[in-house]
Chains A and B, each alone.
Chain A
Amino acid sequence: MAKVELKNVSKIYMGGHKAVDNVSFNIDDKEFVVLVGPSGCGKTTTLRMIAGLEELSDGEIFIDGKPVKNVPPKDRNIAMVFQNYALYPHMTVYENMAFGLKIRKFPKNEIKKMVEETAEILELEKLLNRKPKVLSGGQRQRVALGRAIVRKPKVFLFDEPLSNLDAKLRVQMRAEISKLHRKLGATMIYVTHDQREAMTMGDRIVVMKDGIIRQIDKPLRLYRFPKDQFVAGFIGSPAMNFIKGKMVFENGLPALRASGGFLYRFDERLKEKLSKYINENAALGIRPENIALNGSSEQSYKAEIELIEPLGAESLYYLNLFGDKLIAKAQPLNDDLKYETVGITFPKEKVHLFVNEKAVSLK
């Protein structure tokens, strides 16, 4: 049973750099929460503050309802898995896993039992007498997990644990960690810069940028209803296309006009809602998978295909639309479609609008 709560947490480094700025969120017991964002967004600092490796400049963190400001890491009942595994190179796998227990003065036979149990879960039994340097990357990662699990902590902290692995192993370990989460029923906080990892693993995702939380949501809600242009662009791959311009009135209807001449008209029913944004900077957002090629509905645009990348089931079309570059992801139309002009449409219900970077609902 461990809830983790962050209340107005800030971290200001010597020299005044604000790494984490007034961050608040709660993590429920047994929840898997992913902190995601580009490098330097404060996600790792946040995790390290939860671990107690970094002092808070302001705010408070509660684990299990108790404030932990003056609690050293070892008494927070947490375990952490590091990006570079941080295995003790001079110790065997067994000793690595037993180290924390020995320090805590567990009886010898109990340590043995706990290490062996954990080794079984992670299929490390055969490696117990090896030193880390003879292990493969995946094996090291499992030992690092084992060292975290063996103490049965209430909260697991992961700091980009998979970023040193190759793509294939990463997918495999992702599944393994998720499985472990279900099996152990522990609270897990996971930091990554990879939005795909965040989407596939998290019960909830905290998106951060420049030390500020941009949005906290379940994965699919994050994808469907990004609160701002940054989140919209960060979640999803290839990233959402943005056509930047200004809000204008066109024939009495609200519309977005880009400098290249592109014009997107909004529905009559949005007139009232959008009229207050006239003359504001805005961006039209559309995901690559939502652009319809060769469409011919009410608003169709002529776009030039500059490059086609066939991926197999789908192809990526690099488009030039009045000077704006867009990427569309679609079923391969036909092999004849080469570098020519196509008509594209943006399905009304899939279009996002951002005014001054903030999302505006088009419902």
Chain B
Amino acid sequence: MNNKIKTLGLNLLLLAIAIVTLAPFVWMVSASFMPNGEAFVFPPKFLPDTFSLTQYEKLFTRINIGRFFLNSFILSVSVTFISLFFNSMAGFVFAKYKFAGKDKLFKLLLSSMIIPAQVTMLPLFLMLKEMGFINTYLAIIIPGMANIFGIFLIKQYAESIPDSLIEAAKIDGASDFQIYYKIFLPVIKPILVTLALFTFMGTWNDFIWPLIALSDQSMFTLPVALANLMGEHSQDPELMMAGSTLTILPIIIVFLVLQKQYIKGIMLGSVKE
């Protein structure tokens, strides 16, 4: 009896939290299907009176959100692939090779993770401007080519696979590069998926750097475009909700498909030092 009350109470509480976390999303999707003005009434509506695609139509025809979508997609995919390649090579070396100074080098990298990215942004902007990359895809891709957290994550995972696997391949006659792509990459596939997910989502969701580096409308990513749109349409919740829905949707889909890897990655990344 006592346990029944506990079960009921706890689950009601969990349900209440879940409602709080999900309600904004539900309202967002719902409002995105409302015609103009319907979401700005009192009392607020939870469902559209008439299901309308007006906002999405407007986004694609008048606001050209397809272009921003494409920008976000191209950038997220290229940053993901390039950084996966660079990070996995470095992680491979840090996990499976030894040479003088390796530990010191890695410690230096790790400890610099506390430097906030904002510190680098001013000179980075000037550098990329000198190179002529501001307002191009390269302005986002170049700083994202490699990152310390990715190297750390791969190293952390790769240390759990036995060294003897690499040594066996070496005795079998494989060159360092053959070991990397015939043994190492297939074996660390789970963490590659996780890291790909992190990087894709991180790039997709990133705001401050694209805001700085991309000033030309046609180069905007979705978050930058949304923020910009908000300036003109702060009284159009329906339109903004449609834009937000479109921005969030790909992320949610990717996450729902690969949530296990994502969660595992967080746990692995949180293994201290």
Contacts and interface: CB of A to CB of B under 8 A. Distances in A.
So, do A and B actually touch in the complex, CB under 8 Å? yes
Contact of A74 (B100, B171, B187, B189): B171
Interface in B138-178: 162, 164-165, 167-174, 178
B171 A80 contact: yes
A51 interface: yes
Nearest to A48: B167
Interface in A90-124: 90, 99-100, 103-104
A73 B174 contact: no
Nearest to B186: A90
Main secondary structure of the interface of A (DSSP, over half): loop
B164 A84 contact: yes
B183 interface: yes
Contact of B172 (A83, A89, A103, A159): A103
A14 B101 CA distance: 11
A99 B178 CA distance: 11
Contacts, number: 60
Nearest to A72: B170
A51 B189 CA distance: 29
Interface in A26-82: 51-53, 72-74, 78-80, 82
A51 B167 CA distance: 10
A99 B164 contact: no
Given A14-B100, A103-B178, A86 B173 contact: no
Contacts of B169: 88, 99
B96 to A, nearest CB: 12
A159 B162 CA distance: 14
B173 A103 contact: yes
A80 B163 CA distance: 13
A84 B161 CA distance: 11
A78 B173 CA distance: 10
Nearest to A98: B172
Contacts of A51: 167, 171
Contacts of A72: 170
A73 B169 CA distance: 10
A53 to B, nearest CB: 5
A186 to B, nearest CB: 15
Contact of A99 (B100, B162, B172): B172
Contacts of A52: 171
A80 B178 CA distance: 19
Bin the interface of chain B by size: 10 to 19
B165 A100 contact: no
Interface in B244-259: none
Nearest to B166: A86
A51 B163 CA distance: 14
Nearest to A91: B186
Contact of A86 (B100, B168, B174): B168
A80 B174 contact: no
Contacts of B174: 74, 99, 103
A168 B173 CA distance: 34
Nearest to B161: A89
A134 to B, nearest CB: 17
Contact of A82 (B100, B167, B182, B187): B167
Nearest to A78: B171
B172 A53 contact: no
A353 B164 CA distance: 43
A335 B5 CA distance: 63
A53 B167 contact: yes
B165 A73 contact: no
Nearest to B172: A100
Nearest to B179: A103
Interface string B63-100: 00000000000000000000000000000000000001
A52 B167 CA distance: 10
Q: Which of A78, A79, A80, A83 has the most CB of B within 10 A?
A: A80
Contacts of B167: 51, 53, 73, 80, 82, 86
Contact of A100 (B173, B186, B189): B173
A201 to B, nearest CB: 21
A104 B173 contact: yes
Contact of A90 (B168, B172, B187): B187
B173 A74 contact: yes
A272 B137 CA distance: 93
Contacts of B168: 80, 82, 86, 88, 147
A86 B172 contact: no
Contacts of A90: 186-187, 189
A86 B165 contact: yes
Contacts of B172: 74, 99-100, 103, 147, 151
B70 to A, nearest CB: 35
26 contacts: A51-B167, A51-B171, A72-B170, A73-B167, A74-B170, A74-B172, A79-B171, A80-B168, A80-B171, A82-B164, A82-B167, A84-B162, A86-B165, A86-B167, A88-B187, A89-B165, A89-B187, A90-B189, A99-B172, A99-B174, A99-B182, A100-B171, A100-B172, A100-B173, A103-B174, A151-B172
Interface of A: 14, 51-53, 72-74, 78-80, 82-84, 86, 88-90, 99-100, 103-104, 147, 151, 159
Given A80-B167, A100-B172, A147-B172, 18 more contacts: A51-B171, A53-B170, A73-B167, A74-B170, A74-B171, A74-B172, A79-B171, A82-B167, A84-B162, A84-B164, A86-B164, A86-B167, A88-B168, A88-B187, A90-B187, A90-B189, A103-B172, A159-B164
